[in-house]
Amino acid sequence: MEYRLFGRTGAHVSPLCLGCMMFGGKTSPEDSYEIIDRAIDAGINFLDTANVYSRGNSEIVTGEALKRNGKRHQVVLATKVHGRMDDDDPNAAGSSRRHIIDQCDASLKRLQTDYIDLYQIHRPRSDTPIDETLRALDDLIRAGKVRYIGTSTFEAWQFMESLWVAKELGLNRFVCEQPPYHILDRRIERGLIPLAQTYGVALIPWSPLAGGLLTGKYSRDTQPPEDSRFADVANNPRLQARMTNDIFDVVDGLKPLADAKGCSIAQLALAWCMNQPGITSPIIGPRTMEQLVDNLGALEVTITDEDRATIDGLVPSGRMVSPFYEADFGPHQYRWS
């Protein structure tokens, strides 16, 4: 495994991050333990979850897995805060000092650990000043509960504002951003990637397979597999809106590249993402062991300049395929205000 510097921190992480969203939800605890063990044995040392995933169950299962295998101190363990954790409490969501500190303590208990390596704000919050958020996170770092802090789905200007506020107030700064990024949505190449390269910010993209659309399991001519995310597409207008001819045109264009390399389309898409300039570690989110094994195969796939040129021909740099991605995966969609 060739590990990468995590931004300007000096810490090293694997070129793929194991996303734990499915664990404790669609993936049973026992299967989750096996997937986590297999990933760590393969060299993955970076795990990402969130308090809101299955309302804490993902953290519970992830923490139990690391307790069972005794490898907590070998991994960079990341979680997130911001999503609603109690439907009856108006303060049980957001980026306020109250919510952040309460949820950090709750996450520590669920994860069965004394510290969180990376604590991230899950979405930007327009009604909470960034200094309120940063002061709370800075206190958690000084208390030894958190080692690094980061963001998810912040726009470039929002991340830049946070760097300025941290400098002005003498606070610990965000060291990473977790944006949506994949072949079908390359918008962060316009501003966020140049910002990250300039200021030493790690980028750990979520949904590098576009919610499964870049796995090759879907086509315009066949019904989705029964156990897939799009199985109920016929009765779900939102899912129908994602399956556009433009997207299938891109997937069809990727197939010859994958075939020539002897890899799956998913492996090609992951390899492209992890080898794009400025990218540190894309987050994979396997639901099954089979999906994990396929994802790990991306580590063996080489992306050439010719491959990049071909993919640029399918989706130009900085562009996005189909307007629905603006609604489904755009930063403004996830403010949870």
For residue 178, the cross-strand partners are: 152
- CB–CB of 64/112 below 8 Å? yes
Which SS3 state, helix, strand or coil, does residue 166 take? Answer: helix
Q: Which two tokens stand for residue 298?
A: 């991306």
Q: Name which of 133, 96, 136, 137 is nearest 119 in CA terms.
A: 137
Residues 176, 290: Cα–Cα separation, whole Å: 29
Point out the residues that are catalytic: 53
CA distance 83 to 52: 6
Half-sphere exposure of 215 (CA within 13 A, CB side): 20
98 is written with which tokens?
């109250």
Q: Which amino acid is at 19?
A: G
Dist CA 40 CA 6 (whole Å): 18
* Structure tokens that stand for 169 in this block: 């107030």
**Residue 255 CB-density burial (10 A; 0-12 exposed, 13-18 middle, 19+ buried):** middle
How far is residue 102's CA from residue 7's CA, in Å, rounded to a whole number? 28
* 329 conformational bin, left if phi > 0, alpha if psi -120 to 50, beta if neither: alpha
- 222 class by beta-carbon count within 10 Å (0-12 exposed, 13-18 middle, 19+ buried): exposed
Q: Could you tell me which residues come within 8 angstroms of residue 195 by beta carbon, excluding any fewer than 6 positions away? A: 156, 159, 160, 201
Which residue in the block uniquely carries the two structure tokens 């390596």?
117
DSSP, collapsed to helix, strand or coil, labels residue 27 as: strand
Report whether 312 contacts 60 (CB < 8 A). no
